[in-house]
Amino acid sequence: MPGACDGKVALVTGASRGLGKAIARRLAGEGATVGLTARTMEPDPKYHGSLQQTLDEITAAGGAAIAIQADLSKPEDREQLFAELIERAGAPDILVNNAAVTFLRPLDEFPDRRARLMIEMHVLAPMHLTQLAIPAMRERGRGWVLNVTSVGGDLPDGPPFSEFDRTAGFGVYGTVKAALNRLTKSFAAELYDDGIAVNAAAPSNPVATEGAGALDLAKTDTEDIELITQTALTLVTADPKSMTGRIAHTQPFLREIGWLR
């Protein structure tokens, strides 16, 4: 039975662990040739997960993937990543901007270099990678960009404020995700006539990925990771003319399309 992504090339950033790995495996299972990228190529005792492990799991399940090591905080690495992906697999039909870095510090002493790195990874890198993907997508007359965002990008209610919103430095994370959401909407509008869909997706509740656990933001799952992979799959296979510019929170989005009750 054909998969929803048969014949397509997908690039998934931050694919060594967490949501990126789960989305990469889902797209490969649907027939995409998946370009995997992250900083960690080989297993390392200091980190949970690596590109090699994701690659091995995809190929063991019968999928197709390639792994390209890159530090996406560096523009030159982003350029090289795209050049190598095109050479080895072709220009991507699907781009999933998932790679991120997060630091939590009190706002009154938040280090400038940490804030700049978060802006680079959450905003400038997705923008640059989307720019690199546009020419081939525009030539084909179709393409899908998905930015992995967070409910932390929504404006907080309060007072009283939630525990998450009162977490030291959480506002910087929320700020860069809010910027990513606005960037998503802007790209969707500008690329609409080119047949390129640009959407963002966020778990409705915390998912206990390795990164979230390390920051004490989510030690246990309150949402099945399948909800984000299903949301991602839907957004990167839907008609770009009718499904673009969405900031999709998993549970209400999946209820809207009838996948979840």
Indicate the pTM of the whole model: 0.93
Range in 20-34, 74-88, 194-208 with the lowest mean pLDDT: 194-208
The whole-angstrom separation of Cα 3 and Cα 5 is: 5
In a domain, 157, yes or no: yes
Mean pLDDT of the residues in the chain: 94
Structure tokens that stand for 76 in this block: 């030159």
Parent domain of 13: 9-256
Query: Residue 231: in which H helix or E strand, if any?
Result: helix 225-235
The whole-angstrom separation of Cα 87 and Cα 14 is: 20
Kindly report the length of the chain. 261
Question: Which residues on adjacent β-strands are paired with residue 145?
Answer: 95, 198
Domain count, the chain: 1
With cut-offs at 50, 70 and 90, classify the pLDDT of residue 218.
very low
Based on the residue annotation, tell me whether 192 is a catalytic residue of this protein.
no
Structure tokens that stand for 2 in this block: 């054909």
With cut-offs at 50, 70 and 90, classify the pLDDT of residue 45.
confident
The whole-angstrom separation of Cα 246 and Cα 261 is: 20
Residue 21 has pLDDT above 70, yes or no: yes
With cut-offs at 50, 70 and 90, classify the pLDDT of residue 23.
very high
Range in 73-87, 144-158, 208-222 with the lowest mean pLDDT: 208-222
In a domain, 2, yes or no: no
Q: What is the pLDDT of residue 208?
A: 65
In a domain, 222, yes or no: yes
Dihedral over alpha carbons 222, 224, 230, 235 (to 10 degrees): 20
pLDDT in tens, 153-201: 999 999 999 998 999 999 999 999 999 999 999 999 999 999 999 999 9
Residue 250 has pLDDT above 70, yes or no: yes
Query: Residue 25: in which H helix or E strand, if any?
Result: helix 18-29
Question: Which residues on adjacent β-strands are paired with residue 168?
Answer: none
Q: How many CB atoms lie within 10 A of CB 78?
A: 21
DSSP codes joined into one string, 110-168:
--HHHHHHHHIIIIIHHHHHHHHHHHHHHHHT-EEEEEE--GGGSPPP-SSPPTTTTST
In a domain, 4, yes or no: no
Q: What is the CATH number of the domain that holds 185?
A: 3.40.50.720
Residue 148 has pLDDT above 60, yes or no: yes
Query: Residue 173: in which H helix or E strand, if any?
Result: helix 170-191
Backbone Cα Rg of the chain = 17
Structure tokens that stand for 184 in this block: 């998503």
| Active-site residue identified among 144, 173, 187, 253 | 173
In a domain, 261, yes or no: no
In a domain, 191, yes or no: yes
Q: What is the pLDDT of residue 103?
A: 96
In a domain, 14, yes or no: yes
In a domain, 71, yes or no: yes
